[in-house]
Structure 1
Amino acid sequence: MPIDAALALAAEPRSGEISWTPKDVQLYHLGVGAGANPDKHSPATDPDELRYSLESRLHVLPSFATVAGAGSPGVISGLSMPGVDVDLAHVLHGGQAVEIHRPLPVEGTATATSRIAAVYDKGKAAVLVMRTEVIGAEGPLWTNDAQIFVRGEGGFGGDRGPSARREPPAGEPDKVVERPIREDQALLYRLSGDWNPLHADPEFAKVAGFERPILHGLCTYGMTLKAVVDTLLGGDVSRVRSYTTRFAGVVYPGETLRIRMWRGDGRVQVSVTAVDRDDAPVLADTLVEHS
């Protein structure tokens, strides 16, 4: 069987050094839509966007943790862990959670340690939870949990795992914003390190069952967090404590995201849909916890 749950869970963690520069941060921010002016009639850049793109004002959106040091232990390396041998065309990113232990520095070097933390049997699919803990010179920086959904690899009699479903928020959202996606958004975002051809190669996308290349789920993830930070957290990235989501549907470049937000006590619940496809679900069970 391509996935041996016992072997995967018993495998030794993989550690490696990662590093990033302000240029990496800026490229990531551009990949999730930073720099765009919401006022299409104004030729000037929105001054608030300079905190994502100008080195003298730069701060780091916490979702950058999902790509920092790209090429080191992470989601793709999880597919080559002992006990895991799957076809990349059958792989989808099922969900993502990041816990922020301290504000991310604009530039840094750290040690990333990754392991398979869980293997769940969903019947027609298997879900691998790839956990990456990142520690810098001053202590822990962040912990990433990536849920890797592998079609056709379930049914081995394993634990189904916990349900990620949350109770839907009551009442009308406190804020609704729309964010257009550029036609070349996936091509730009993949420069931050996710080279899966599903997001660039039309022929590969067709083999995987899609009419054309789809946007990275983590790109939508970053665009959504940016919207929450900019509209409900006063633009202060240091307030984010954790951010979790379930990828409920695909997004195609050129579409528009509708992001609905409900405020709570130290938390924001979020729902993201595709405007162009009658509000088809994109991100669900999404929660930003903050100070």
Structure 2
Amino acid sequence: MPIDAAKALAAAPRSAEIAWSAKDVQLYHLGIGAGRPATDPGELRYTLEDRLRVLPSFATVAGAGEPGVTGGLSMPGVDVDLARVLHGGQALRVHRPIPVEGRATATSRITAVYDKGTAAVLVLRTEVADAEGPLWTDDARIFVRGEGGWGGDRGPSVRLPEPGGEPDRTVERPTRPDQALLYRLSGDLNPLHADPEFARLAGFDRPVLHGLCTYGMTLKAVVDTLLDGDVGRVRSYTARFAGVVFPGETLRIRAWRGEAGRLRVAVTAAERDDAPVLADTVVAHS
């Protein structure tokens, strides 16, 4: 079996030094659609260095996205075909605001391996700290098609009850046809997002947008429309990738105010009859 669950779970954590600059932050923000319109004061918080604030989802690409999903595939006990891999979900907990420039240590390990029957799910946890202490904790759920069925633990359900009533806010955010080409410069060079031939091998008729690009676009929309544009209010952000986005499509983002300090969010592709894109999505905030 290409995935040896016992070996993967027993492997020692891996640590790496990461660093980022204001230019890395700006490039990430542009990759998720910031700067439209370019002179909007609200957008300048994401693009202009003298007033720059870091959207917490930048954590997923800080240090060029190491270790990221592909890093999880190089862990002991894991040997799979990249064309069978999809990003299943992401959970981020922010311990304090991310500085515009920084150096930190990222420590990663596989914390769970689940058997979903027709697929395996790996949970890769990355904890990042700098000289002042913890910065963020990031869990990536890596879905590997065709690698289940060994009789392992199916794992907990990540499905949440559907939010009731009309959303408190609905916004639409268009993606550009070239958006994946810009976003990949932040570190995720998986050819699924750029190479039509590789995309066909993975079962898609054309390249798809990075799930983490949609993840970042969604958080930005929530911060801008429901959190007064204050990135420092985000405490945690969890989402399940329920479907793909093709570059050029429009994200329809619906948000519901739940219990104190929690927003439920759902994202669909507007042009494909609201096909689900992000589900079971929660933003916890102050």
Q: Which runs of 5+ in 1 are unaligned?
A: 38-43
Q: CA deviation at 1:73?
A: 2.6
Query: Partner residue of 2:246?
Result: 252
Number of aligned residues: 285
1:71 to partner: Cα distance: 5.5
* Match of residue 8 from structure 1: 8
* CA-CA distance at 1:167 after TM superposition: 1.0
1:41 corresponds to which residue?
Answer: none
Aligned Cα root-mean-square deviation (Å):
0.7
1:70 deviation in Å? 1.5
Change (3 A) 1:178 1:213: same
The residue number in structure 1 matching 2:17 is: 17
Partner of 1:103: 97
Tell me the residue number matched to 1:269: 264
> In the alignment, what sits opposite 2:278?
283
Q: What's the counterpart of residue 183 of structure 2?
A: 189
**TM-score, normalising length: structure 1:** 0.97
Contact preservation (8 Å) 1:270, 1:286: yes
SS at match of 1:204: helix
Mapping of 1:146-157 within 5 angstroms? 146-157=140-151
- 1:142 is aligned with what amino acid? W
Per-residue CA shift, 1:192-228, capped at 9, x if unaligned? Answer: 0000000000000001000100000000000000000
**1: CA distance between counterparts of 2:281 and 2:177?**
25
Take 2:65 and 2:170, find their aligned partners in 1: how far apart are those partners?
35
Q: Retained in 2: the 8 A contact 1:17–1:72?
A: no
Q: Distance in 1 between matches of 2:77 and 2:56?
A: 31
Instruction: Select which of 135, 141, 165 maps to 1:141.
Output: 135
Q: 2:39 aligns with which of 41, 45, 57?
A: 45
Q: Conserved in 1, the CA contact under 8 Å of 2:18 and 2:103? A: yes
Q: Tell me: CA distance 1:17–1:215, structure 2 relative to 1, closer, same or farther (3 Å).
A: same
Question: Counterparts of 2:82 and 2:70 in 1: how far apart (Å)?
Answer: 9
| Equivalent in the alignment of 2:113 | 119
Q: What corresponds to 2:34 in structure 1?
A: 34
Cα deviations by residue, 1:147-193 (Å, 9 ceiling, x for unpaired): 00000000011100011111111110000000000000000000000
CA contact (8 A) 2:65 2:186 kept: no
Alignment match of 1:210 (pick from 197, 204, 207): 204
Cα distance in 2, alignment partners of residues 172 and 201 from structure 1: 39
2:252 counterpart SS class: strand
1:155-170 correspondence runs (5 A): 155-170=149-164
Distance 1:203 1:68, change over 3 A: same
Greater shift in the superposed pair: 62-71 or 87-96: 62-71
Counterparts of 1:219 and 1:175 in 2: how far apart (Å)?
21
Q: In structure 2, which of residues 80, 84, 90 is the aligned counterpart of residue 86 of structure 1?
A: 80
Amino acid at match of 2:275: A
Partner of 2:125: 131
Q: Distance in 1 between matches of 2:72 and 2:273?
A: 35
Deviation at 1:32, TM superposition (A): 0.4
1:62 lines up with 2:94 in the alignment: no
Q: Identity over the aligned pairs, expressed in percent?
A: 80
The whole-number CA distance in structure 1 between the counterparts of 2:279 and 2:65 is 28
| Residue matched to 1:40 | none
Structure 2: gaps (5+ residues): none
Q: Report the Cα offset of residue 46 of structure 1.
A: 1.5
